[in-house]
């Protein structure tokens, strides 16, 4: 794989029931092109020691490792956020809080919220999948009120790209398309022949998509 012209910092965010480990193929490919990569473990995931229970658990707690990384970035540094599956909602929190630090946000067959509804809105639309995550991962819940969590001024100001996987039976192609139509993005890319886990089934194709996105939005 050819080395990219502009070196970027990619932050890779896993989905439910996974960890930083799931990105090892894509991370290796991105690093081989001279880019910086951070793959993190969200709360109670991978090697993260934090444990949750029904009484003391919020989606913000779960997403805190990404928010901490974003807060630690130097003022002028921008990153490319990449979120898979449920990681799309964690991306949204980071985009809303630190829009000035994100050059592009990439949703890889991921849940993508809008700024008109609650963060959990897209999960409410796909309750079959949402219910499978109840025990494994804390789902978003409104901690203070029913007001929208995201703002158009902040979350909506970040360039968003959606990578669709046409053979995904977890977040189906039609549901991916619905989220894109519900809140249009700057660009849509499709990885043909990919299931819900393109980082395993199509790592080179996913890496090439990310490099092209980096070149366009850097």
CA distance 169 to 203: 18
The count of other CB atoms within 10 Å of the CB of residue 153 is: 10
The count of other CB atoms within 10 Å of the CB of residue 169 is: 9
Structure tokens at 104: 């592009």
CA dihedral 30, 35, 36, 41 (to 10 degrees): -20
Instruction: Select from 58, 39, 24, 17 the least CA-distant residue to 141.
Output: 58
CA distance 193 to 104: 25
Could you list the active site residues? 85, 168, 196
Instruction: Select from 32, 21, 107, 93 the least CA-distant residue to 61.
Output: 93
Instruction: Select from 188, 213, 217, 205 the least CA-distant residue to 179.
Output: 188
Structure tokens at 119: 């963060």
- How many Cα atoms occupy the beta-carbon half-sphere of 59 within 13 Å? 23
């Amino acid at each position: 794989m050819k080395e990219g012209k502009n070196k970027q910092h990619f932050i890779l965010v896993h989905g439910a029931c996974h960890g930083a480990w799931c990105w090892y193929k894509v991370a290796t490919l991105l690093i081989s092109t001279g880019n910086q990569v951070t793959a993190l473990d969200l709360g109670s995931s991978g090697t993260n020691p934090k444990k949750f229970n029904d009484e003391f658990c919020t989606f913000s707690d779960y997403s805190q490792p990404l928010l901490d990384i974003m807060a630690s970035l130097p003022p002028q540094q921008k990153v490319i956020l990449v979120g898979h599956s449920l990681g799309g909602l964690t991306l949204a929190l980071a985009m809303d809080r630190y829009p000035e630090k994100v050059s592009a946000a990439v949703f890889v067959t991921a849940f993508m919220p809008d700024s008109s509804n609650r963060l959990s809105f897209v999960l409410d639309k796909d309750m079959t999948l949402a219910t499978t995550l109840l025990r494994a991962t804390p789902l978003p819940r409104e901690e203070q009120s029913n007001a929208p969590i995201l703002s158009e001024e902040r979350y909506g100001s970040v360039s968003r790209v959606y990578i669709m996987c046409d053979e995904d039976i977890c977040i189906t192609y039609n549901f991916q398309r619905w989220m894109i139509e519900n809140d249009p993005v700057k660009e849509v890319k499709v990885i043909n022949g990919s299931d819900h886990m393109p980082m395993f089934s199509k790592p080179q194709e996913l890496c090439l998509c990310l490099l092209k996105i980096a070149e366009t939005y850097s």
